Structure 1
Amino acid sequence: MSDQENALPTDPTWPELKLPELLFTDTVREVHATIENEWDPLLRSACQTAAGRALWKHLIHDPLADLLAGETYLTSLYEKIKKDRINNAREVSGVILAVRTLWFDSKLEAALNSFTRREAQVVILGAGMDARAYRLSCLKDSDVFEVDFPKVLQVKTTLLQAAMETTNEHQHLTLKSKSLTRVAADIRDSDWLEKLQISGFVPEKNTIWVLEGILYYLSQPQAMQVLKTIAEKCALTSTVLLADFMNKSSITLSSSIFHFYSDWPDHLLPSLGFSHVKLSQIGDPDAHFGLMHDPLNLFNRLRSLPRSLQNHPDDGTPCCRLYLVQASGSPNQTILP
């Protein structure tokens, strides 16, 4: 194929990849080398998510995403995006991450606006390289708690400290939330809620729970226990859950990594104690963000099919769905059928 055939169309949306100088400092290089050599797929997914936010920067404002993603994941995703654009793919790599991030951002802001004076606790389980506390101004009256493995939080702290010591990056480290507390805990264990409370979490205060890209890495019993623990808070205070769920077909993509699934989370969550549940699929009006124009892309094709189908009737391929779910509950609530 000639260079001309390989050339990308001019598009300011996708500039050439320029890695920030901070990624090439000794400290940051050493940290990301540790991630690549020692972290398992679950932990590394945090950097992959950050890479998606960094490369879809024309839609997602996350100035820290490059630093948190690292050179390897930025370069890998950039090459996939480049290939997709050359091939005029209906779905460009990373679009799921972009839509998912924008959906969580918008629902988080809407949930905060529903509370009096926007005061609430925001708990991000499996926070990974999430930087919402630094980039979302809607959190200005909220106490944010990031919960993750000790090694993840330590690496994240080291990377952010490296940015603090660099004049060019220091401006991006202004905290937008009222406060930020990092809680070293494994949500697969039974003591994570206790550790959260020791760190200042108040069960009686309005709380938004953010579970982005985490549930399907848990086993069925572990995920159900986490969801039940959150649902129990509906009896104490106004509680909002924002989470994404894979269906059964999706976990077959990598059965060694993905475990928990729910084909009907909008039925599951009311059975646990949530009174209102709204489910969206990528491409729905509230999960579109101008990125799903092609009616024949994967997501729009799936939306036209009954959710009960596990395989596409046209070609037999698995119907892999990602459900974006908002659930809420409060004392004296009425569970809707």
Structure 2
Amino acid sequence: MVGTEETEKRYLLKAEVLDFPYSKRTRWLATRMGYEISAMSDQENGLPEFQKWPELKLPDLLFSDTVRQVHATIEKEWDPLQRSACQTAAGRALWKHVIHDPLADLLAGETYLTSLHEKIKRDCTNDAREISGVILAVRTLWIDSKLEAALHSFNAADTQVVLLGAGMDARAYRLSFLKESHVFEVDLPEVLQMKNTLLQAAMEATNYHQHLTMKAKSLSRVVADIRCNDWLEKLQISGFVPEKNTVWVLEGVLYYLSHSQAMQVLKIIADKCKLTQTVLLADFMNKASTTLSNSIFHFYSDWPDHLLPSLGFSHVKLSQIGDPDAHFGLMPDPLNLFNKLRSLPRSIQTHPDDGKPCCRLYLVQASGSPTKAIS
């Protein structure tokens, strides 16, 4: 998306709500990004056929000594959970026609940008029904839109947003609706240190300095491991107030945790429903999805909309990629993987067409408050 105006992104999100035709919405996005567009097709989904994805243009800052050293250390020393932060940033950087995140390429690094771009090019060449990184794009847009709606629903000027396992998240710098919110980024010391070094390098670079204007009311980085039992105490020491209305974000984190660790985190958040208005935004894998990497993915829930009420949330809404509130015009093909899965009951573990596991990613919004406590 060209420019830095938040209104552009808000227009994109509202295009979905206003039910703009796919053709109108996609042509608007594509022309702003300079895509090479062939004639509009008469396909049922109404989308244009893109001749090619834009070529990857890496910013000069990625080749500075400081930034190169940071990303070399990340490649050498970080585990899969930590490195997933860079993968997410790469998705936001390369899907910039729908996500405005000027810091994403810096935070992602050359390795992850190049790798994802190669996958995207291959998908485009092969006319794939879903393009690599689309899940990251949809998840980002879904959380952004639900976060904005949740903060507006609080009807309070002094609110809190806690990003657990924040990684390379830059929401505090890119979302203007956080102007009345105190944002807390919680992560491991090495993650926050590397992130701070990258942002400091951006501060010193002419082309990036303009993107480091704080949009949130305040930002606190909290060094803590959510796999341990002391992260809430460290959060409070950093200024978090349990009695203030809070949105908690667990993006791309839960399934890397053990079952006991994930449940402990969810219980701590759910317990805050007894004190104040509390909203949780998170993504959950089902059991079949953990088979994608038995050594990396651990926690799962086939029915998070049943699990979370049992912990104390009074309202839970579950979406799947491709649902009306979770596609943003990015996956209209009825035969793509996500739409095919949505047509099957969640109880089915293997797809009847090919016998493959039904790997699902659920986007879940849960909420509760003292006045709506479960009896």
TM range (shorter): over 0.9
Distance (whole Å) between structure 1 residues aligned to residue 174 and residue 143 of structure 2: 13
Distance (whole Å) between structure 2 residues aligned to residue 256 and residue 74 of structure 1: 24
SS at match of 2:143: helix
Q: Is the 8 A contact 1:208 1:241 kept in 2?
A: yes
Match of 2:140 among 78, 88, 101: 101
Structure 2 residue aligned with 1:148: 187
Aligned residues: 329
Deviations 1:98-133 (A, max 9, x none): 000000000000001101145310000000000000
TM-score normalised over the length of structure 1: 0.96
Structure 2 residue aligned with 1:254: 293
Distance (whole Å) between structure 2 residues aligned to residue 147 and residue 13 of structure 1: 38
Q: Is the 8 A contact 1:77 1:93 kept in 2?
A: yes
Q: CA shift at 1:332, angstroms?
A: 2.7
Structure 1 residue aligned with 2:261: 222
Query: Is the counterpart of residue 239 in structure 1 residue 266 in structure 2?
Result: no
Distance (whole Å) between structure 2 residues aligned to residue 75 and residue 252 of structure 1: 26
Structure 1 residue aligned with 2:33: none
Structure 1 residue aligned with 2:228: 189
Q: CA shift at 1:140, angstroms?
A: 0.3
Flag structure 1 segments of 5+ consecutive residues without an equivalent: 1-7
Match of 2:125 among 60, 64, 86: 86
Distance (whole Å) between structure 2 residues aligned to residue 28 and residue 170 of structure 1: 15
- Letter of the 1:301 partner, please give it: K
- Letter of the 1:120 partner, please give it: T
Distance (whole Å) between structure 2 residues aligned to residue 314 and residue 21 of structure 1: 47
Q: 1:40 to 1:292 in 2, by over 3 A?
A: same
- Letter of the 1:86 partner, please give it: T
Query: Is the counterpart of residue 275 in structure 1 residue 314 in structure 2?
Result: yes
Match of 1:63 among 78, 81, 102: 102
Q: CA shift at 1:187, angstroms?
A: 0.2
Distance (whole Å) between structure 2 residues aligned to residue 67 and residue 13 of structure 1: 24
SS at match of 2:263: helix
TM-score normalised over the length of structure 2: 0.86
Distance (whole Å) between structure 2 residues aligned to residue 240 and residue 80 of structure 1: 35
Structure 2 residue aligned with 1:4: none
SS at match of 1:332: helix
Q: CA shift at 1:335, angstroms?
A: 3.2
Match of 2:237 among 177, 191, 198: 198
Q: CA RMSD in A?
A: 1.3
Distance (whole Å) between structure 2 residues aligned to residue 21 and residue 128 of structure 1: 23
Query: Is the counterpart of residue 25 in structure 1 residue 51 in structure 2?
Result: no
Flag structure 2 segments of 5+ consecutive residues without an equivalent: 1-35, 39-49
Query: Is the counterpart of residue 321 in structure 1 residue 353 in structure 2?
Result: no
Q: CA shift at 1:13, angstroms?
A: 7.9
Match of 1:131 among 167, 170, 173: 170
